[in-house]
Structure 1
Amino acid sequence: MKYKFVLLIFMTIWGIMIARLYHLSIKSNYYYEELAQENIERKQFIKPVRGEITDRHGNLLAMNQMGFSVSILPHLKRKPEKLENIVDKIVDTFPDLNKTVMMKVYNKYDSPYNHEYIKVVDFIHYADMMGAYPSLSLHPEIKIEAETKRYYPYGQYSAHIVGYTGKSNKKENDRDAVVKEIGKIGKSGLESQYNSVLQGELGYLVSKVTATNKAIEELEKVPPKDNKNIKLNIDINLQKMIHDRFGDDAGVAIVMRTNGDILAAVSYPSYDPNLFVGGISHKDWQALQENVDKPFTNKIIHGAYPPGSTIKMGMALAFGQSKEGILESDEYCSGYITLGKSNHKFRCWSHWGHGKVDLKKAIRESCDVYFYNKSLKVGINAIANNLREFGLGVKTGIDLPQEYAGVIPDKDWKQKRYKQPWYMGETVIASIGQGYDLVTPLQVARYTALLATGNLVTPKLAQVIDGNAVEKESKPITVQNRYLQTIREGMYEVCNTRKGTAYSTLSNLPIVVAGKTGTSQVTSIPQSTVKRLKEEELEYYHRSHAWITTYAPYKDPQYVVIVLVEHGGHGGSSAGPIAADIYKWLYNKGYFNKSMMDEF
């Protein structure tokens, strides 16, 4: 028994020794071999060149400027005088550089474990570096490398579409290895939406190095996948014309083919995206934030406005979808309605009323009472469900980030939002695009294309991405065609008959346009006001927003043009002239071909 016990101890000790020997001689060998490999091989990533963005004609909207970065040899903190001399040499060569900032950056990244040169200047233009390069390159402590910087040739004209790039933060670096290596990322617009395409894919170079990290042999090189370009549907010359046309007014204009291709999308006023590329100054950022017309806000997809009377065509379709035969009967407009025993008057815009009103007249002359009465017969829930089907109060799906949905309210929405019941009077004001109703200009453009064609399209800015054509997206919406045709005829009469609200501005064009004006109030009108002040008599920021939404040609719809002038008063007089100029420009530039013209 004692013998067996001694033998067990002996075998246990030998087992431990054999296991330890295996670990030291075999298993650890792999580890140390790997470690040694890292000490003699260096893998450096090769940054891809960011893809360019062009308009439909090849005009560059986002490009890369060629230049250079400047880096300094690490481990010079132990030689402060030498470090300072090197930095002084760089600052003497380029006086606009900030010595304090350069020293701060160097000290932050210098450590005994870092053997890489430390970048202290991100970008110096090619022309500026050419004269200085021979002198600076004589210093082994200074490393000059080719670098690119994003540049937007059209600046403010394309800012809300193209967006801009900026330095990536820790969260963005952790999410994307390419972003971490490049240090830049698309922050807004298409630069953000298609960042993963535009930035390309990293290449790398594996080199054999000495103990001091000096490369002595190239072992493997894989080039980056870059220059992944994007071509847009945008016509930048149309974009410029519309932008300049707004003048002193603020607002939005969108030109879209009825298949969803966006030719122009202007949010005015705008800003210069080049300010953000290298980091915007506090002064410039404050100026943007304090501007009451909000130039930094992309009103195309982030502007939420009451749609006013532009909603009336969709409202009429919602009535027809919800209650059989409801649009067959006329309404009588005496200038207002009341509800129950209440003395509160829900007024029509016409103080005298419109008399007997059918569907076509309700669209042509924008009679409010017609929609008040019909809405009460249908109810808000049925109305809201249909309007969302028509593209209002829901995201359009455009290829831009962080699009707003807006609001088309119903009973559940109000209960969730305000913990209050829905009232009949709220149905009445919702029927003319007021109250809680909020839509984006792009939603109105998309919904207008539906009215023109019967199809709900997905708006697209990009036409070709890295050589691949962008697929069109469209779905037919089932509506009663007899009502839709009557609505189209009403929209035709808005622009082409003397009682139409846009007749004065859109009747004398080389193509036939159909449309609808709208006025969306930004302040309520007291019941005690018997006679309203004219819009031009109100203080500017109390004036209503002015809408016009249109399509053309009337018989063969190809284009949608919508214009919103903030605090413009009346759609026909404020937004109408801008829409007219857009159609004239499109006609003069050949966007309406002869086959379209032969019909008129």
Structure 2
Amino acid sequence: MKIKFILFMFALTWLTLLVRVFLLSVESNSYYEKLSYNNTIKIEQIAPVRGEIVDINNRPLAINELGFKIQLAPHLTLKKNSDIFESELATLLSLLPHLDKEKIIKEYKKSDSYYNHNFIDIVEFVSYEQIMPVYSILSLRENINVVSSPKRYYPHNEAAAHVVGYVGRANKDDVQDDPLVELIGYSGKSGIERYYNEYLQGLAGKREIKVNANNQEVEELSSQMPVEDRKLTLNIDIELQKYIATLFENKAGAVVVMEVNGAVLSASSFPEYDLNTFVTGISSEIWEKLSNSLDKPFTNKLIHGLYPPGSVIKTGLGLLYITSPEVGQNFSVHCTASLPVGSRVFRCWKRDGHGSTDIKKAIRESCDDYFYKGSLKLGIDKMSDGLMRYGLGKKTGVDLPNEFVGTVPSREWKKKKYNKSWYIGETINTSIGQGDFLTTPMQVAQFTALMATGKLPRPYFASMLGDKLVEPQLQEVLDEGELKRLPTIQRAMYEVCNVAGGTGTNYLKTKVKIAGKTGTAQVVGILQNIKQRELEHEMEYYTRSHAWFATYGPYENPQYAVVVMVEHGGHGGAATGAIVSKIYDKLLELGYIKTEGIER
């Protein structure tokens, strides 16, 4: 029995050894083969070149400036290699004396470790002109690597800054959202650069190479080129853009010039800033100056500036009035310049009133009393529902990042935000675009295009993604009755700009026959006990009203909506009329407006 047990154990031991030998020599072969492959084969990603952004006439707005980055071999800060590090550093500084020694040391030590075997970036960008005279010397040094590295450059500096946007160094959040950003090192931070970042940055290529035990390349096994240099064409005309900037010198605000189908030809938020200061990192001095400015140059006022629209919404509200059974097309009032409601008195801007007023006169002369009394008939629910249907209080869908919604006040909105009841005085304030009513200039441009054509466009900046044309998107938001009565509103808007008594007539001087609506949006309220309001030009600058002028032209053949908003500009027509006039004349000069829109 003992002999059988010993023989069994002997056989079991040999069987176990044979199985183990089999596993090591046969079954584990694929595992060790893969491990060996990974030790000798290296996959190297190739960063794509970012696509250029150009205007509608193929003029560059964002390009790549040719240059190089400098890298150092790892582990040179180890005690045994410290002399090599100092030597390489001295060589670099002797050849390129403009480099910052302390910054180089800081960048190197930040990435150097026992676990890092890749070359370390120490200088992000050196221009082609600077590197070429010393390139042959640097390329012979085994611890220094010079790699092609284009830098984003904005040839027009501050022009169209808030539209084009800028790129900056990638942070952890950027890398987490898109691993390709870690390879590239930077990403779009604002504007078109951010909205179309994925398209512009392209796709990485890769090289499969064989390396030796020292991690040195022996052979290239395969390569795949990156998908890169994707061109993005905008509807923007940079010549028009720069011209409008001259009209806004020493002013703050926003301008939108948009085809009535939504294609944005020019859009500016003022003041602007030089985009190139952000590419390699802005200085603390410039940052402090810009961020502390009361005119808020960092805010993209086109989509992030929230302003009371004032009287520019009277066109849309007037359309709701004349198409509703509660008010009707024949509704008129006798304006005496004041409307007592409860303990308050709501005043019209014209001290002696407008007298007998119908819809056309109410829009032409911007009679507040007409809209006060109409709002009491229509009610806030139908007012807010209609205005939101016309595009206010919601995103326009423009291709810029993080567009703000704005506010069209309503019972539901107030209950949700403040958990309070609605008061009739708030209905009256809403009827003239005041109170809690807030819009963006882009929303007003979209709204104005609707008044011009009866269709609500989606504003868009991108004209072509490579060879792919971006098509306009138009919504049918007006019902049959509204479409039928829209010409009444359009005629009233014409009278605003062309008939005696029109709030814009005296301030316009353009060759193009246009229609529009002025707006003066109060920044501070007027106390009830003040009988005579202080004139705008007598007020402290930052307490003056914002000035709006929302227009379209030519009147008989609408092609463009032009919206101008001057912060603290005072009266809408006075502050904006000259700017609007010059923009239309420039559109004519550049050939955008056809000759049938010209006054003869």
Map residues 226-375 of structure 1 onto 2, 5 A cutoff: 226-323=228-325, 326-339=328-341, 342-375=342-375
Map residues 497-576 of structure 1 onto 2, 5 A cutoff: 497-506=499-508, 508-576=509-577
Q: SS of the counterpart of 1:68?
A: strand
- 1:12/1:443 CA distance change after superposition, 3 Å: farther
Summarize deviations over 1:536-577 as a string: whole Å, max 9, x none: 011101100000000001011000001000000011100111
Separation in 2 of the partners of 1:379 and 1:467? 50
1:191 is aligned to: 193
Q: Which runs of 5+ in 1 are unaligned?
A: none
Question: What is the aligned counterpart of 2:94 among 92, 95, 101?
Answer: 92
Q: SS of the counterpart of 1:327?
A: coil
Contact 1:322 1:382 in 2 (8 A): no
Q: SS of the counterpart of 2:158?
A: helix
1:103 aligns with 2:111: no
Deviation at 1:365, TM superposition (A): 0.5
Separation in 2 of the partners of 1:127 and 1:119? 20
2:419 is aligned to: 419
Contact 1:88 1:99 in 2 (8 A): no
- 1:509/1:21 CA distance change after superposition, 3 Å: same
- 1:6/1:194 CA distance change after superposition, 3 Å: farther
Deviation at 1:84, TM superposition (A): 1.4
Separation in 1 of the partners of 2:278 and 2:212? 41
Number of residue pairs matched?
Answer: 596
Question: What is the aligned counterpart of 1:202 among 195, 204, 210?
Answer: 204
Contact 2:209 2:217 in 1 (8 A): yes
Opposite residue 590 of structure 2, the aligned amino acid is: K
Contact 2:555 2:597 in 1 (8 A): no
Q: SS of the counterpart of 2:569?
A: coil
Map residues 59-138 of structure 1 onto 2, 5 A cutoff: 59-78=59-78, 79-138=81-140
Opposite residue 278 of structure 1, the aligned amino acid is: T
2:460 is aligned to: 460
TM-score with structure 2 setting the length: 0.95
Deviation at 1:389, TM superposition (A): 0.6
Contact 2:48 2:202 in 1 (8 A): yes
Opposite residue 377 of structure 1, the aligned amino acid is: K
Separation in 1 of the partners of 2:7 and 2:210? 53
Opposite residue 525 of structure 1, the aligned amino acid is: I
Which stretch has the larger CA shift, 176-185 or 231-240? Answer: 176-185
Deviation at 1:281, TM superposition (A): 1.6
1:142 is aligned to: 144
Contact 2:254 2:268 in 1 (8 A): yes
Question: What is the aligned counterpart of 1:483 among 482, 485, 499?
Answer: 485
Separation in 2 of the partners of 1:543 and 1:449? 28
Deviation at 1:76, TM superposition (A): 1.6
- 1:457/1:19 CA distance change after superposition, 3 Å: farther
Separation in 2 of the partners of 1:18 and 1:378? 94
Deviation at 1:317, TM superposition (A): 2.1
- 1:142/1:350 CA distance change after superposition, 3 Å: same
Deviation at 1:478, TM superposition (A): 2.0
1:440 is aligned to: 440
Separation in 1 of the partners of 2:187 and 2:343? 59
Separation in 2 of the partners of 1:225 and 1:489? 53
Contact 1:322 1:383 in 2 (8 A): no
Contact 2:322 2:330 in 1 (8 A): no
Opposite residue 223 of structure 1, the aligned amino acid is: M
Q: SS of the counterpart of 1:87?
A: helix
Opposite residue 357 of structure 1, the aligned amino acid is: T
2:593 is aligned to: 592
- 1:2/1:101 CA distance change after superposition, 3 Å: same
Separation in 2 of the partners of 1:593 and 1:344? 50
Q: SS of the counterpart of 1:204?
A: strand
1:159 is aligned to: 161
Separation in 2 of the partners of 1:2 and 1:286? 92
Q: SS of the counterpart of 1:43?
A: strand
2:408 is aligned to: 408
Which stretch has the larger CA shift, 564-573 or 76-85? Answer: 76-85
Opposite residue 450 of structure 1, the aligned amino acid is: L
Which stretch has the larger CA shift, 386-395 or 107-116? Answer: 107-116
Deviation at 1:459, TM superposition (A): 0.5
Separation in 2 of the partners of 1:242 and 1:327? 39
Which stretch has the larger CA shift, 327-336 or 431-440? Answer: 327-336
Separation in 2 of the partners of 1:499 and 1:477? 32
Contact 1:66 1:125 in 2 (8 A): yes
Contact 1:197 1:466 in 2 (8 A): no
Summarize deviations over 1:237-282 as a string: whole Å, max 9, x none: 1100111111111111110000101000010101111111111121
- 1:410/1:23 CA distance change after superposition, 3 Å: farther
Separation in 1 of the partners of 2:386 and 2:117? 65
Separation in 2 of the partners of 1:331 and 1:529? 25
Summarize deviations over 1:64-87 as a string: whole Å, max 9, x none: 000111111222223112201211
CA RMSD, Structure 1 to Structure 2 (Å): 2.1
Deviation at 1:327, TM superposition (A): 3.2
Summarize deviations over 1:83-123 as a string: whole Å, max 9, x none: 01211221232233221221122223223333321111111
Q: SS of the counterpart of 2:150?
A: strand
- 1:325/1:289 CA distance change after superposition, 3 Å: closer
Q: SS of the counterpart of 2:344?
A: coil
Contact 2:323 2:485 in 1 (8 A): no
Separation in 2 of the partners of 1:6 and 1:393? 90
1:579 is aligned to: 580
Summarize deviations over 1:329-388 as a string: whole Å, max 9, x none: 21121111112xx34110000111111111001000000010001111111111111101
Deviation at 1:324, TM superposition (A): 5.3
Separation in 2 of the partners of 1:282 and 1:403? 28
- 1:7/1:329 CA distance change after superposition, 3 Å: farther
Q: SS of the counterpart of 1:301?
A: coil
Contact 2:548 2:564 in 1 (8 A): yes
Summarize deviations over 1:144-183 as a string: whole Å, max 9, x none: 1111000000111121011001111122212222212111
Separation in 2 of the partners of 1:141 and 1:592? 61
- 1:37/1:312 CA distance change after superposition, 3 Å: same
- 1:256/1:10 CA distance change after superposition, 3 Å: farther
Which stretch has the larger CA shift, 238-247 or 111-120? Answer: 111-120
Identity %: 45
Summarize deviations over 1:403-458 as a string: whole Å, max 9, x none: 00100011111111112111000000010000000000000000000000000000
Separation in 2 of the partners of 1:331 and 1:545? 27
